[in-house]
């Protein structure tokens, strides 16, 4: 046997080729890891954060907000005192950020009111006095949004309550996540939330998102009251019985209590199911401002109030004027007649945002129900194109020799 036999030579060639291939592969792997080939870990790309365009103040506020969200999501075993200290720290940090910042720099700070408020509320449950100090702190600095104090107006308050306390609505942490994403301009987590919402996981995510844009702050119970007082004499309202028809989320109750005073009676009438429970829950938080409120379940054709039991009936947004000729006969006229019956002689019905395309239409229907016109105030803003005239109207139940009630 010699080593030069052809079979042995072939084996040597095969071995040599295999060694060469192996060497080449080894080289490729080594150079690949140096040069960032797909075989190695993904290269780190430095990207600016999605909210890099935000001002320093907003970034800092987001940090506080995110810390708070994390806090809410993580079950901590902090003692009450530690929790108070944490919340106080967050609120004071927010106050310190807001204090030197100009309104222009902060722009849409409306979105920050909600987490601030949420923190404040957490704090109030643990230590009401601490909350008072913090509220004072913010209010004294005149921290404002769109002309309103940072303290919520009643509508915002109600929206807030809906968002954070009504279990049918979205959970606070998710709402705050949505808000944080909006502020950062990072829509991806919102999309995920909405997908989950569509899958029946969360409800009203989009509505909640709208709340935080601040678009709702122009409507409020106090604003409605200011409008009502353009047709009513405020000095004659103390001690009155005021029925709020279609109270919705009860945003006007605080203002009503203020004008009728502690000796006045406040009644709310709603047709929608579930409002009693909602308003009852909210009113417990506002026990002092709202006082006792009687809630009545009305019908589309009957307000279900006892005869001659109320002095003032107010509605805002029931849209009396919307409907067909058939619903006018079947519901609206009987309903208005039931309202007239519930009023004491001389009692007043105030209609605001009643949905009538013209004052004439409202006049006709009120006359048919037996009311007499007391005062109409046109609140349309000159030069603003409006689809409907903006007016507040007061009509009176004719006096039959009995007590006359507060006209302008
Ligand atoms: C547009 S919302 C306004 C709610 C509230 N006034 C506000 O300004 O926030 C209209 C409300 O009126 C209620 N409503 C409609 N027709 C009614 C009726 N005939 N009697 C009592 N409530 C009524 C609805 O259930 C709804 O809550």
In the block, tokens 């007499």 appear at 372
Ligand 1, atom 9, lies closest to the CA of 248
Structural domains present in the chain: 56-211 (no CATH), 221-396 (3.40.50.150)
Q: What is the pLDDT of residue 392?
A: 94
Give the H or E element holding residue 394. strand 391-396
Average pLDDT over residues 168-181: 61
Residue 271 has pLDDT above 60, yes or no: yes
Cα–Cα distance for residue pair 247/272, rounded to 1 Å: 10
Higher-confidence position of 379 and 375: 375
List own/partner pairs for 326-335 with CB under 8 A and 24 or more apart: 328/365, 330/301, 331/300, 331/301, 332/365, 333/365, 333/368, 333/369, 334/301, 334/302, 335/299, 335/300, 335/301, 335/302, 335/303
Cα–Cα distance for residue pair 343/357, rounded to 1 Å: 26
Q: What is the pLDDT of residue 176?
A: 67
Higher-confidence position of 160 and 215: 160
Q: How confident is the model at residue 67 (pLDDT cuts 50, 70, 90)?
A: confident
Give the DSSP per-residue string, 246-301: T-TTTTTHHHHHHHH-TTSEEEEEE-STTHHHHHHHHHHHTHHHH--EEEEE-BTT
31 Cα: distance to centroid of ligand 1 (angstroms): 73
| Pairing assessment for the beta strands 310-316 and 343-352 based on DSSP bridges | parallel
315 Cα: distance to centroid of ligand 1 (angstroms): 8
Q: How confident is the model at residue 225 (pLDDT cuts 50, 70, 90)?
A: very high
Residue 319 has pLDDT above 50, yes or no: yes
Q: What is the pLDDT of residue 163?
A: 52
Q: What is the pLDDT of residue 284?
A: 66
Q: Under DSSP, is residue 98 helix (H, G, I), strand (E, B) or coil?
A: helix
Average pLDDT over residues 58-86: 79
Q: What is the pLDDT of residue 318?
A: 82
- Cα-only R_g, the chain: 33
Q: What is the pLDDT of residue 105?
A: 47
| Pairing assessment for the beta strands 391-396 and 343-352 based on DSSP bridges | antiparallel
Q: 300: which 2 tokens? A: 């589309």
Average pLDDT over residues 322-338: 89
Cα–Cα distance for residue pair 338/354, rounded to 1 Å: 17
In the block, tokens 């995920």 appear at 192
271 Cα: distance to centroid of ligand 1 (angstroms): 7
Q: Which of 219, 318, 319, 392 to mutate to test the pocket of ligand 1 (most atoms within 8 A of CB)?
A: 318
Q: What is the pLDDT of residue 258?
A: 92
Query: Residue 391's closest CA among 405, 406, 381, 403?
Result: 381
Number of C-beta neighbours around residue 81 at 10 A: 10
Pocket of ligand 1 (CB under 6 A): 245-249, 251, 269-272, 298, 300, 316-318, 335
The residues facing 313 across adjacent strands are 243, 349
Higher-confidence position of 20 and 257: 257
Q: 30: which 2 tokens? A: 């080594």
Q: What percent of the chain has pLDDT over 70?
A: 54
Question: Cα dihedral sign for 120, 121, 124, 126?
Answer: negative
Q: What percent of the chain has pLDDT over 90?
A: 25
Cα–Cα distance for residue pair 363/369, rounded to 1 Å: 10
Cα–Cα distance for residue pair 148/36, rounded to 1 Å: 55
Q: What is the mean pLDDT of the chain?
A: 72
- The predicted-structure confidence for 290-317, as pLDDT tens digits, reads as follows 889 999 999 989 999 999 999 999 998 8
Q: 127: which 2 tokens? A: 């230590």
Q: Under DSSP, is residue 313 helix (H, G, I), strand (E, B) or coil?
A: strand
What pTM does this model have? 0.55
Residue 210 has pLDDT above 60, yes or no: no
Average pLDDT over residues 335-357: 91
Query: Residue 230's closest CA among 350, 313, 148?
Result: 350
Q: Out of 71-80, 220-229, 338-347, which region has the weakest mean confidence (pLDDT)? A: 71-80
- The predicted-structure confidence for 178-206, as pLDDT tens digits, reads as follows 667 766 666 676 666 666 655 654 444 44
Average pLDDT over residues 286-293: 80
Residue 150 has pLDDT above 70, yes or no: no
Cα–Cα distance for residue pair 210/192, rounded to 1 Å: 17
Ligand 1, atom 10, lies closest to the CA of 318
Atom of ligand 1 nearest to the CA of 315: 6
Residue 36 has pLDDT above 50, yes or no: no
CB 150 within 8 Å of CB 111: no
Ligand 1, atom 1, lies closest to the CA of 317
Q: Under DSSP, is residue 18 helix (H, G, I), strand (E, B) or coil?
A: helix
Residue 2 has pLDDT above 60, yes or no: no
Residue 399 has pLDDT above 70, yes or no: yes
């Amino acid at each position: 046997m010699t080593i030069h036999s052809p079979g042995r030579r072939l084996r040597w060639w095969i071995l040599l080729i295999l060694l060469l291939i192996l060497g080449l592969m080894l080289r490729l792997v080594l150079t690949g890891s140096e040069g960032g080939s797909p075989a190695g870990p993904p290269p780190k790309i430095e990207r600016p954060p999605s909210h890099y365009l935000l001002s320093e103040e907003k970034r800092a506020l987001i940090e506080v907000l995110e810390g708070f969200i994390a806090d809410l999501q993580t079950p901590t075993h902090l003692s009450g005192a530690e929790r108070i200290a944490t919340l106080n720290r967050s609120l004071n940090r927010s106050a310190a950020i807001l204090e030197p910042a100009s309104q222009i720099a902060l722009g849409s700070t409306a979105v920050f009111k909600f987490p601030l408020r949420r923190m404040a509320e957490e704090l109030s449950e643990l230590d009401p006095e601490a909350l008072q100090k913090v509220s004072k702190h913010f209010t004294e600095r005149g921290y404002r949004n769109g002309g309103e104090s940072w303290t919520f107006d009643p509508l915002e308050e109600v929206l807030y309550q809906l968002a954070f306390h009504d279990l049918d609505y979205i959970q606070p942490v998710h709402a705050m996540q949505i808000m944080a994403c909006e502020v950062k301009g990072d829509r991806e987590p919102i999309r995920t939330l909405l997908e989950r919402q569509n899958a029946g996981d969360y409800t009203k995510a989009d509505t909640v998102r709208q709340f935080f844009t601040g678009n709702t702050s122009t409507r409020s119970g106090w604003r409605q009251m200011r409008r009502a007082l353009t047709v009513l004499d405020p000095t004659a309202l103390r001690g009155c019985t005021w029925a709020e028809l279609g109270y919705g989320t009860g945003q006007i109750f605080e203002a009503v209590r203020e004008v009728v005073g502690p000796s006045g009676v406040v009644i709310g009438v709603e047709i929608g199911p579930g409002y009693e429970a909602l308003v009852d829950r909210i009113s417990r938080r506002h026990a002092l401002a709202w006082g006792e409120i009687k809630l009545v379940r009305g019908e589309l054709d009957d307000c279900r109030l006892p005869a001659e039991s109320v002095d003032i009936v107010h509605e805002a947004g029931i849209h009396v004027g919307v409907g067909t000729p058939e619903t006018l006969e079947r519901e609206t006229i009987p309903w208005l007649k039931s309202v007239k019956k519930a009023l004491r002689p001389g009692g007043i019905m105030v209609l605001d945002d009643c949905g009538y395309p013209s004052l004439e239409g409202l006049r006709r229907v009120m006359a048919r129900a037996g009311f007499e016109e007391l005062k109409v105030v046109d609140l349309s803003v000159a030069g603003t194109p409006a689809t409907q005239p903006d007016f507040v109207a007061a009509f009176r139940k004719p006096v039959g020799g009995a007590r006359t009630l507060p006209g302008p």
